[in-house]
Amino acid sequence: MRLQGKVTLITGGAAGIGRATAERFAQEGATVVICDLNEAALQEVTATLGPNAGGYKVNVADRQAVQAWIDEVEAKYGQIDVLVNNAGIVRDGQLVKMKDGEVVKMMTEADFDQVIAVNLKGSFNCTQAVAPVMMRQKSGVILNASSVVGLDGNFGQTNYVATKAGVIGMTKVWARELGRYNVRVNAVAPGFTATDIISAMPEKVLDGMREKTPLGRLGAPSDIANAYLFLASDEASFITGAVLRVDGGLVVGT
């Protein structure tokens, strides 16, 4: 029961790694509050997380909606101990695609802006809203979802890689700024993980992912959830500003 008595927030908590993390935190005694845009999934997951759990429909890219969520959670529970900035989207495409010397396609400005708004600004919005609560408490943990592609880059993911690299930079800044308040900030960088989106890919693509991963398999959402659990717990009380790769030894592009 490593999170007994802790109030934990998880964005994008209704599916994939977010859901696995919510379930893992609940097993360890946490009061789990998730947000997502999928209302049906929100209700389903919240019902499995215990009597004190909460589920809210929140767009993390909307600063006012995020602030209202944080204010309501603090008023209801009286504290916020852990924030996991998990919510994220992908809108893949090459920067510029050429054929026979002609530009045939580009990543659209809308696709770039949308990924930045959710993955990068969303993490900023949630952290800025929750930080004063933790600073007043003189305790708290903020965990940010990065990715191995934020460290290694990846073909066709200019927007996504920019957000995941940016999250690492923000993690290091916030660790410096919030450390004096006993607030720890770390990032987790998953490799290829068997979420619904990846699992739906053709088997040939999945085989390629496994072959590039030295441990020879995809990560399970629970693998990432366990990393979040460790960093959220008091066992990691002297770890801040770190980026923990959970990737089976993967180096993207090799």
Which run of H or of E encompasses 174?
helix 158-178
Three-class DSSP category at 16:
helix
Residue 95: DSSP 8-state: S
R_g of the chain computed on alpha carbons:
18
Which run of H or of E encompasses 27?
helix 16-27
Q: Give the C-alpha separation, 50 to 38, whole Å.
A: 19
Q: Give Cβ neighbours of residue 125 (< 8 Å, ≥ 6 apart).
A: 60, 61, 62, 63, 66
Q: Given the structure tokens 């920019």, which residue do they identify?
A: 162
- Which residues in 72-81 are b (16+ Cβ under 10 Å) and which e? ebbeeeebbb
Q: Give the C-alpha separation, 244 to 188, whole Å.
A: 5
Three-class DSSP category at 58:
coil
Give the CA distances from residue 112 to residues 19, 96, 115, in Å, rounded to whole numbers and listed in that order.
26, 13, 6
Is 56 among the catalytic positions? no
Q: Which of 56, 77, 160, 181 is catalytic?
A: 160
Q: Give the C-alpha separation, 64 to 60, whole Å.
A: 9
Residues with a catalytic annotation lie at 160
